Chain A
Amino acid sequence: MLHPTFKIFFLQDYPTKGTLHSIDPRVKLLSTLLFVILAVSTFEPKKLIFLLFSLIAISAILGLNLRRLFSRVWLFSLFSFVVVLPLLLQDPKYPFLFTLRVLIALISVQMLIMSSSFAEICSALRSLKVPEVFVQGLWLAYRYIIVVFQDIINILLARESRRVSKGSHMDLWKRGGESVGLFFLRSIERAERVQLAMASRGDKIFGARSKFGIMEIIYIALSLFIVLWCIVL
């Protein structure tokens, strides 16, 4: 059985799908990049606040679950705030503005991650001319993560079930090293088998994307509107 968090991250089987899910991932990928660049290129409060509220509004209108969105970004934003908190006395505004930049960047990326499957992101990367070998490697790695996780869990379980005493840290490390060694060896052998299978049945793994529709055009217009407002503010 997979842990629910694991399922959400890897299988991306969302309970509800909003409008944002139906937009072409190429458009979402490029707009995410634009939003992140905007966020990290300024310390002006009005620009950052405008960007934050714009992204929250888009997420809410286009059907993202805001509670889930914030549950994914609050922890690292808080961590960033704690890191720069000692500078509060030197410049009282800095820790808040720094954290706001990080928060906006995190929300931008989460908007992409929460509304696109990894296959769609790989397909978008391929359309954007990222080298085939890299995109195929990404897609294979993603698909095999669950399989190799199961493999390492099986190895660790087998070792644990054969263990009769608690043992010292040194024993634990020795057994751990052997387990990880065995795991890598099995992974290499699996990779060799997969390569043979790919060679015999062909290795095309992505479908082509359709052309842009009305939703893509609206989303591009919305993103450009935010970018231009951020620049002129």
Chain B
Amino acid sequence: MHIPDGYLDLNIAGLFLVLTLLVLGYSIYRLRGEKLTSLFGVLSAAIFAAQMLNWPIPGGTSAHFVGGALAGILLGPYGGCLAMAIVLTIQTLVFNDGGITAWGANVWNMAIVDVFIGYYVYRALSGFNRNLAAFIAGWLGITVAAIFAGIEIGLSSSFAYGLAVTVPVMGTWHAALGIIEGTITAGVVSYIATRRAELLEKKEVGKASFVLLAALIALSPVFAYLAESVGYSEPLENAAKILGLEENPIYEGLLPDYSIPGLDPYAGTLISGAVGVLIVLALAYAVRYARSNRKNA
């Protein structure tokens, strides 16, 4: 999933560098005063070593572990994000695995998206079943990170394949490989739970982190905007066009085709995206509120 130099346009690489620096800067700020350097250092080395292990898959092939969700579960989202950023920086500067100009995008995908999604999914589900929560955290973290990688290279005009190719390829393959990531994450979490369960306790995370995650989701409309600017269209729409099929909707919806009638299409897409994000956040908040009320009762 490491994007090399030459695959990303400089504006996309720059955008993700800025976003990454903001999140990493905030993570370092949140960890200020804590004597945790050795924990990041040694655990980063451990994640690096664990990534080198090849896990056999029936059929004669193998896959390797990435460890973003596990880093989040063990160190919390800020520490995990910093540890994974260290791993990725060493891979760039020692192995040339991942480009220097793509460093921001690679850290965004594997050290921010993977870690934060892995951590929050684990926290949300660990009350029901710890091992299942760790599996879903590992699987979802890596899959969403791969989709982000697909979006970044698909939006880059330097890489001639568009979003219609890059996103399904990255997303589908990693959704399958993510099963391995999830299984290893669950195995490690299960082992640690039996030996030192206190390491898996909830880490100190403030409300700001929720804002951070919301900001991550809120980026989707920006991608939509960029997708419009590079002329992206849905693969299904392309297929319909080739087959000469016409759209015949039963119900147009409140925001038909992610637009607002009478408004500039770009502005319409942005507003639709923002509305979607608000609806998802409201639903998530309602579920959380309902759960906390039930616990209090």
Residues of A within 8 A of B (CB): 9-10, 32-33, 36-37, 39-41, 43, 72, 76, 80, 84, 87, 90-91, 94, 98, 101-102, 105-106, 109-110, 112-113, 118, 121, 131, 133-134, 136-145, 147-149, 151-152, 169, 172-174, 176-178, 180-185, 187-188, 190-192, 194-195, 198-199, 203
> In the bound complex, do residue A134 and residue B85 qualify as a contact, i.e. CB atoms below 8 Å apart?
yes
> In the bound complex, do residue A176 and residue B96 qualify as a contact, i.e. CB atoms below 8 Å apart?
no
Q: A106-B96, A137-B41, A145-B48 are in contact. Are A98 and B89 (CB under 8 A)?
A: no
Distance between Cα atoms of A112 and B99 in the complex (Å):
13
- Cβ–Cβ < 8 Å partners of B10 in chain A: 37, 40-41
Interface size class of B (residues with CB under 8 A): 35 or more
> In the bound complex, do residue B5 and residue A40 qualify as a contact, i.e. CB atoms below 8 Å apart?
yes
> In the bound complex, do residue B184 and residue A180 qualify as a contact, i.e. CB atoms below 8 Å apart?
yes
- Cβ–Cβ < 8 Å partners of B287 in chain A: none
> In the bound complex, do residue A113 and residue B94 qualify as a contact, i.e. CB atoms below 8 Å apart?
yes
Q: Which of A43, A131, A136 contacts B41 (CB 8 A)?
A: A136
> In the bound complex, do residue A188 and residue B93 qualify as a contact, i.e. CB atoms below 8 Å apart?
no
Nearest-neighbour CB distance to chain B for A199, whole angstroms, equals: 7
Nearest-neighbour CB distance to chain A for B22, whole angstroms, equals: 13
Q: A137-B37, A141-B42 are in contact. Are A180 and B188 (CB under 8 A)?
A: yes
> In the bound complex, do residue A133 and residue B28 qualify as a contact, i.e. CB atoms below 8 Å apart?
yes
Q: Which residue of B lies closest to A146 (CB)?
A: B45
Q: Which residue of B lies closest to A193 (CB)?
A: B38
Q: Which residue of B lies closest to A94 (CB)?
A: B160
Nearest-neighbour CB distance to chain A for B96, whole angstroms, equals: 5
- Cβ–Cβ < 8 Å partners of B7 in chain A: 80, 102
> In the bound complex, do residue A37 and residue B55 qualify as a contact, i.e. CB atoms below 8 Å apart?
no
Distance between Cα atoms of A40 and B46 in the complex (Å):
33
> In the bound complex, do residue A187 and residue B42 qualify as a contact, i.e. CB atoms below 8 Å apart?
yes
- Cβ–Cβ < 8 Å partners of B25 in chain A: 131
Q: Which of A87, A134, A148 contacts B45 (CB 8 A)?
A: A148
Q: Which residue of B lies closest to A104 (CB)?
A: B6
B101 in the interface (beta carbon within 8 A):
yes
Known: A39-B6, A195-B36. 7 other contacts (CB 8 A): A36-B100, A98-B159, A106-B4, A140-B44, A177-B188, A185-B196, A203-B37
- Cβ–Cβ < 8 Å partners of B196 in chain A: 185, 188
Q: Which of B6, B93, B95 contacts A105 (CB 8 A)?
A: B6
Q: A40-B101, A80-B4 are in contact. Are A187 and B40 (CB under 8 A)?
A: no
> In the bound complex, do residue A169 and residue B58 qualify as a contact, i.e. CB atoms below 8 Å apart?
yes
> In the bound complex, do residue B37 and residue A195 qualify as a contact, i.e. CB atoms below 8 Å apart?
yes
- Cβ–Cβ < 8 Å partners of B187 in chain A: 173-174, 176-178, 180-181
Distance between Cα atoms of A74 and B159 in the complex (Å):
19
> In the bound complex, do residue A134 and residue B86 qualify as a contact, i.e. CB atoms below 8 Å apart?
yes
Nearest-neighbour CB distance to chain A for B218, whole angstroms, equals: 26
> In the bound complex, do residue A148 and residue B42 qualify as a contact, i.e. CB atoms below 8 Å apart?
yes
> In the bound complex, do residue B6 and residue A176 qualify as a contact, i.e. CB atoms below 8 Å apart?
no
- Cβ–Cβ < 8 Å partners of A37 in chain B: 10, 101
> By CB atoms of chain A within 10 A, which of B6, B31, B52, B161 has the most?
B6
